[in-house]
């Protein structure tokens, strides 16, 4: 179920509630059943769905409500609060500081949209007046440097990479040092997304991280991977200890449940979503407005 449909389903369950002549345990259970079914169909992790159901039931406690209270309002608020909770881990993402270098390191699997997102993020900050540069430390995927170079050139963003050096740690460090010396404010490092072994990929991420000491590590995740989001987010959190997430491919048929599961698995906020293949297809992600929009 795509995100807009999830919103419509939850919305329509809440409208059913508002029309119910009496609000009792049965009506509440029916509402929760509809909402949980919609969340599950959107690939939200089953444990999270159960938790939402239990928390709403606990916080509403319908049998102990007096006659004078507006039960519908209380239930609606409890549902909204739980939905916010699902997408908002309550952790503030890193905020870059003007006038000094801020190093961002991007991690994620090959194909997730990392290289594309690097330029999108760089262009976003450049438009806001920051002095921005890109470093390509993906020596594993043939063509990664060319891709970054092409995107960067189009966006008029300085870049660093190498056709001959094949040690990603050296490239990352050289690039970051060079741009720091040139007083760049935002330096975005693209890393590899695949190796023969997952352990090698994670080892490489750790080495690059130790070398460049990023102020912020961002996990780039494909928004269309559904239930696989949870384990992928967990694995990258353990290996790279990222601080925030960018979900890509949220245009088209992304179910949105992946975003919710990734946030819960890593207790890290989604900061941007990718909404297309072009440079400006990047939107800021705000949990509150996401839930409100989802519910129309
Ligand atoms: P990387 O291997 O992680 O560096 O992935 P790439 O940046 O090369 O992206 C893989 C594919 O996903 C490319 O075809 C991109 O155009 C596409 N892509 C990246 N972000 C988005 C997005 O937000 N929406 C859509 N529709 N496609 C995207």
Q: Are 101 and 187 in contact (CB under 8 A)?
A: yes
Classify residue 90 as left (phi > 0), alpha (psi -120 to 50) or beta.
left
For the CA of 147, the closest atom of ligand 1 is: 8
Judge whether residue 296 has pLDDT over 70. no
Provide mean pLDDT across the span 82-86: 89
* Structure confidence at residue 169 (pLDDT): 97
Mutate to test the pocket of ligand 1, among 107, 111, 116 (most ligand atoms within 8 A of CB): 116
* Structure confidence at residue 8 (pLDDT): 86
Q: Which protein residues are within 6 Å of ligand 1, measured from CB?
A: 108, 110-116, 193, 248-249, 251-252, 274-277, 281
Provide mean pLDDT across the span 160-185: 97
Nearest CA to ligand 1 atom 6: 113
Neighbours of 112 (CB within 10 A): 24
Categorize the per-residue pLDDT at 289 as very low, low, confident or very high, splitting at 50, 70 and 90: confident
Pairing of strands 244-248, 216-222: parallel
- How far apart CA 54 and CA 39 sit, in angstroms, is 14
Lowest mean pLDDT among 110-119, 164-173, 259-268, 283-292: 283-292
Nearest CA to ligand 1 atom 5: 113
Q: Are 264 and 278 in contact (CB under 8 A)?
A: no
Provide mean pLDDT across the span 178-187: 98
Lowest mean pLDDT among 1-5, 13-17, 230-234: 1-5
Q: How far is the CA of 253 from the centre of ligand 1 (A)?
A: 14
Q: How far is the CA of 236 from the centre of ligand 1 (A)?
A: 19
* Structure confidence at residue 219 (pLDDT): 98
Q: How far is the CA of 146 from the centre of ligand 1 (A)?
A: 15
Categorize the per-residue pLDDT at 217 as very low, low, confident or very high, splitting at 50, 70 and 90: very high
Average pLDDT over all residues of the chain: 92
Judge whether residue 108 has pLDDT over 70. yes
Provide mean pLDDT across the span 7-26: 90
Judge whether residue 177 has pLDDT over 90. yes
Question: Which value, to the nearest 10 degrees, does the dihedral of the CA atoms of residues 277, 44, 41, 245 take?
Answer: -10
Reported ipTM exceeds the 0.90 cut: yes
Q: How far is the CA of 116 from the centre of ligand 1 (A)?
A: 6
* Structure confidence at residue 68 (pLDDT): 76
Categorize the per-residue pLDDT at 5 as very low, low, confident or very high, splitting at 50, 70 and 90: confident
Residue that wins the pLDDT comparison between 118 and 295? 118
């Amino acid at each position: 179920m795509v995100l807009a449909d999830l919103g419509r389903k939850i919305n329509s369950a809440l409208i059913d509630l508002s029309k119910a002549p009496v609000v009792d345990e049965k009506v509440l259970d029916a509402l929760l059943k509809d909402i949980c079914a919609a969340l599950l169909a959107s690939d939200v992790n089953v444990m999270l769905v159960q938790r939402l159901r239990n928390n709403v039931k606990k916080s509403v406690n319908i049998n102990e409500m007096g006659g004078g209270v507006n039960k519908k309002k209380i239930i609606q608020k409890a549902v909204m609060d739980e939905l916010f909770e699902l997408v908002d881990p309550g952790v503030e993402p890193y905020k870059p500081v003007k006038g000094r270098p801020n190093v961002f390191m991007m991690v994620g699997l090959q194909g997730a949209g990392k290289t594309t997102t690097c330029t999108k993020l760089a262009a976003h900050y450049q438009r806001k007046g920051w002095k921005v540069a890109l470093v390509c430390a993906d020596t594993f995927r043939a063509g990664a440097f060319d891709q970054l170079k092409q995107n960067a050139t189009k966006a008029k963003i300085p870049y660093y990479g190498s056709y001959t050096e094949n040690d990603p740690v050296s490239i990352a460090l050289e690039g970051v040092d060079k741009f720091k010396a040139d007083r760049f404010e935002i330096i975005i490092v693209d890393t590899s997304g695949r190796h023969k072994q997952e352990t090698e990929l994670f080892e490489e991420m750790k080495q690059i991280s130790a070398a460049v000491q990023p102020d912020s590590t961002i996990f780039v995740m494909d928004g269309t991977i559904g239930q696989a989001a949870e384990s992928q987010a967990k694995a990258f959190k353990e290996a790279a200890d990222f601080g925030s997430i960018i979900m890509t491919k949220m245009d088209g048929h992304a179910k949105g449940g992946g975003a919710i599961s990734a946030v819960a698995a890593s207790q890290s906020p989604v900061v941007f979503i990718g909404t297309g293949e072009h440079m400006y297809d990047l939107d800021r992600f705000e949990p509150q407005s996401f839930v409100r929009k989802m519910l129309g």
